[in-house]
Amino acid sequence: MRKITLISVLAILAALSFFLLKPILLSLILGVILVIIFSPAHNWLLRKLKSRTISAVIICIFLLIVIIIPFWFLTPLFIQQSFQIYLSSQQIDFVTPLKTIFPSFFASDQFSNEIGSIISSFITKTTNTLVNSLSQLILNFPTIFLQMLVVFFTFFFVLRDKEYFADYLKNLLPFQKEVKEKLFKSSKNIIFSVIYGQIIIGMLQGVIAGIGFFVFGVKNALLFSLLAVLAGIFPIIGTTIVWLPVAIYLVIAGNTFPALGVSFFGLISNFIDNIIRPIFVSRYTNIHPLPILVGMIGGLFFFGILGFILGPLIIAYAFIILEIYRGKQISGVLNYERK
């Protein structure tokens, strides 16, 4: 009876703790992920300053500046430019340029009007969604502020005392020592692989495409640069989905030279995706790219933007636990050699 009572109380407390932490669970996970990313910088500062608290405070201040300043100054500009694009899209004639380029295909006026209506409706809905999404950042600021507060508090305390938290978590896991070490190492490698191989390289792609927008005088270049950065982070999509329509629009508008310039910078961003990204990914993990890709896309649908990291981690843990169950390694998936 004593054992049954203890298990029942533990189950009730675990359920209550889950529902208590559920609204901020992703914020807690994000804080831990940031700890893994900034641990090398914290260890370097710790060797110089000899103080865990001061080193963690410096890292937190740096992270705060990197997040708060862009959010404070750029969000109003993004909203303004997205609204300008929304208004401009209501006045663009899509049918006449298409008739000029494909006269035989758009010979029927009824067909041309239908296509023009479809394109106009699609662009209107897209720009309207973009305006609403950016506006929600301001409307939901109190909630976002509380979530970020949880992220920063988690980040500070776990970064400062990461060894204690790691030892406690290892002691809770019901596996052998080598399995625990493999789980922790896999977590670190996959997070670094996704952060540097997908997010950082994707942002670099977007920045390069954005330079093309600014150099060749594309209107609302700041917003298009943001869209290119976001598209570069997404698997498969890439920055082409942003710079190619811009280049086509410039050609239709008669700006051939700027269209060629934007295309040149866009192709450079694609080159980075095809050449540099695999180097970073292969450096940190030997997992086959298919589980990582599937995990990122599935995680995006299930967890939101944080699913980019959680999805591949869950897939990797599933393979590792399967290895433990089978008693041998799964060749070709967790030990993939790129050729």
- Tell me if the pTM is above 0.75: no
Residue from 300, 268, 278, 288 nearest 337 by CA: 288
Ramachandran class of 287: left when φ > 0, alpha when ψ lies in -120 to 50, beta otherwise: beta
pLDDT over threshold 60, residue 335: no
Distance, in Å, from the CA atom of 14 to the CA atom of 90, rounded to the nearest integer, reads 54
pLDDT over threshold 70, residue 218: yes
**H helix intervals, 22-108:** 25-49, 52-89, 95-101
**Stretch 77-101: mean pLDDT, rounded?**
68
Looking at residue 227, its pLDDT comes to 82
Residue 46, both tokens? 């710790």
Strands (DSSP E) contained in 250-306 are none
More confident residue, 69 or 3: 3
Mean pLDDT of the chain: 78
Looking at residue 282, its pLDDT comes to 58
Q: Are 266 and 244 in contact (CB under 8 A)?
A: yes
**Stretch 295-309: mean pLDDT, rounded?**
78
**Stretch 297-315: mean pLDDT, rounded?**
79
pLDDT over threshold 70, residue 288: no
Distance, in Å, from the CA atom of 288 to the CA atom of 284, rounded to the nearest integer, reads 12
Looking at residue 101, its pLDDT comes to 64
Residue 22: is it exposed, middle or buried by C-beta count within 10 angstroms (0-12/13-18/19+)?
Answer: exposed
More confident residue, 338 or 214: 214
Confidence label for 12 from pLDDT (cuts 50, 70 and 90): very high
pLDDT over threshold 70, residue 229: yes
Confidence label for 285 from pLDDT (cuts 50, 70 and 90): low
More confident residue, 326 or 282: 326
Looking at residue 92, its pLDDT comes to 65
Residues counted in the chain: 339
296 DSSP 8-state letter? H
Q: What tens digit of pLDDT does each residue of 139-196 get?
A: 777 888 888 889 889 999 999 988 888 888 878 777 777 777 777 777 777 777 777 7
Q: Are 148 and 114 in contact (CB under 8 A)?
A: no
Confidence label for 58 from pLDDT (cuts 50, 70 and 90): very high
Distance from first CA to last CA of the chain, Å, rounded? 60
Residue 220, both tokens? 């609302």
Residue 29: is it exposed, middle or buried by C-beta count within 10 angstroms (0-12/13-18/19+)?
Answer: middle
